[in-house]
Structures are given as structure tokens and as C-alpha cells.
Amino acid sequence: MRTYVVEPQQIFQPSLLELLRESGCSIVRVQERLDPLDVVRTHPELLFFDDENIDEHTKRSLQFLVDSMPNLRLCIYAHGPLRDLRTHTSTQVLHLEKSAEHEALLGALGRFVVTA
């Protein structure tokens, strides 16, 4: 699955990218910040988003992506669910808890990617 990754901390990128590849994702771009126009141009099937220090601008950018790309699958990697995001019935969202073990993350991602 063509995957666009937003991970603000470069130190975690290698292990995250390995996890995504193990679960069946092919990485098309890795960014430290969400760039919604780049996401639209890249046209991934999955947006993996680490919500570290999410602000209002980023929430608006995510909403823009959901509104303009209703079939884009979202994987939110966070300490809690992302609130206030209005999705379409076709939008699939997976919330991954940052405290989860590697095997649990791999299983959840693998199931999410396979159901595409």
C-alpha cells in the first residue's frame, strides 16, 4: 500500500519505516511535518501520521485531506484518539496507541493494510 509518512522525530523514522514495511506498506514519502498539498500531489493510499504536538493548523490540514481525498486511509499514531476530525463514510481510520508493543502494532497495521 502506497504510504505517506509524517514523523516529526527523525530518530524514530528508521524503526517506524521498518514496521510499516513489515506490515505491507511501500513508503512513497517521509516528512517531518504535514504538507497537505504534497500529500495530494503524491496521492498515497495511506497517510501514517504521528500526532506529536499537533496544533490547530495541522488539524485543519488533516481535515482538508479527509475532505479532498475521501478514500485516503488514515493511520494516526498517538497517545489518544484524534478528536474533531470529521470523516466520510468511505474514510478508514486506524488509531495506534504509542504505548503498544511492536507485535501489536504490526498486527493492527497488517490487518488494516490487507483490508484495502
Tell me what pLDDT residue 89 has.
Answer: 66
Residues 6+ apart with CB under 8 A from 38: 29, 31
Q: How confident is the model at residue 49 (pLDDT cuts 50, 70, 90)?
A: very high
As a whole number, mean pLDDT of residues 24-42 equals 96
DSSP type of residue 76:
E
State whether residue 64 is helix, strand or coil: helix
Helices (H), 1-116: 13-22, 36-42, 56-68, 102-114
Tell me what pLDDT residue 91 has.
Answer: 77
Q: How confident is the model at residue 75 (pLDDT cuts 50, 70, 90)?
A: very high
As a whole number, mean pLDDT of residues 75-91 equals 74
Q: How confident is the model at residue 55 (pLDDT cuts 50, 70, 90)?
A: confident
